[in-house]
Structure 1
Amino acid sequence: MGNTNKFWKGILFGAIAGGAVTLLDKETRHSVREGIKKGTKEVTHCITHPSEVAEQLRTKTEKLRNTVEQVSEDVTFIAEKVGELKEVTPAVVSLVSDTKEAFLESSDD
């Protein structure tokens, strides 16, 4: 059990050291700073306007539900058309075969 703890501590310290090394680059520091500012602003907005966030979530959920329903209807329609095609295909093959035979017989005359 002790070795497992050492492993996870090593992973944690390695991640911290790697993060610290990457922050030596000025552009990376700037990007991280901007990301933190943006994230903080979004979290603050969510906390101060929970009803707005809930409404946005409801709206997106409804759009997703409508999209899933539409896709489901489209898949059902396509499946029906494939079924119809399976039923019609043998009749078409037979008709083409009969027509071919009729032309061959008339050309032999």
Structure 2
Amino acid sequence: MRDLRSARAQRAITDEEHEALNLLVMGLSREVIARRLSRSIRHVHRLIASAKAKVGVRNELQLAIAAYRLGLLRPGTYLLEPPASPGAALPTPARRNAGLPLGAADDG
């Protein structure tokens, strides 16, 4: 039953919920996530609550773990520290310096 629910949840997570989840696992607060998504804090609360309900978990930690297990997120592909300025580009799994330590430059 859990696997069937998880498969449905994976298909049901919206792009906006997925984006909020990515920012959440980067350690950003809901206030910062709201700014990044150009949404209200209340809307971000709803996105996260909706994702938790779809996956069948009670808190953000369980949501992050479930997202990794479902393949919604991939370990090691997101920076642990958010970009310094709110307008800075967000990291993506395909960033050029993937695998390099934070702050290291790629000489290639």
Task: Give the helix-richer structure, 1 or 2.
Answer: 1
TM-score, with structure 2 as normaliser: 0.27
TM-score, with structure 1 as normaliser: 0.26
Structure whose CA Rg is larger = 1
Larger relative contact order (Cα-Cα within 8 Å, sequence gap ≥ 6): 2
